[in-house]
């Protein structure tokens, strides 16, 4: 993401679907069927502060070590997704709203 675009509009969304797993195929659910559940996260991209950079580097580079050697002159920066809205579509009858507080309070 370019720094200029980030400064103009930091809004973002991310959709994750069970169609990305074997679940829907196993149950013969079309990816558009509400039973093939998906969740939509909405919020904004926020540049991490100095106290968070170490954790961000560790999280990113442990999963994508090749990124550590990417050119520094491209002005990369570390950011996080500040989630403000969560919608779950997992059955007929419309979306269910989950607050970020509810989402983060769930114990895995």
Q: What is the CATH number of the domain that holds 61?
A: 2.30.110.10
- Does the model's pTM come out above 0.85? no
Domain total of the chain: 1
Residue-wise pLDDT tens digits, 71-108:
988 888 899 999 999 999 999 988 999 999 999 999 98
The greatest distance separating any two alpha carbons of the chain, rounded to the nearest whole angstrom, comes to: 50
Mean of the per-residue pLDDT values of the chain: 91
Nearby residues of 62 by Cβ (< 8 Å), 6 or more positions away: none
**Domain containing 75: what range?**
3-105
* Cβ proximity of 28 and 56 under 8 Å: no
């Amino acid at each position: 993401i370019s720094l200029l675009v980030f400064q103009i509009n930091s809004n973002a969304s991310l959709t994750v679907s069970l169609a990305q797993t074997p679940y829907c195929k196993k149950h013969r659910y079309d990816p558009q069927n509400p039973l093939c559940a998906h969740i939509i996260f909405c919020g904004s991209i926020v540049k991490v502060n100095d106290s968070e950079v170490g954790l961000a580097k560790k999280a990113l580079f442990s999963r994508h070590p090749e990124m550590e050697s990417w050119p520094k002159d491209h002005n990369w920066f570390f950011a996080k997704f500040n989630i403000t809205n969560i919608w779950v579509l997992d059955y007929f009858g419309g979306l269910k709203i989950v607050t970020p507080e509810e989402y983060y309070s769930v114990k895995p």
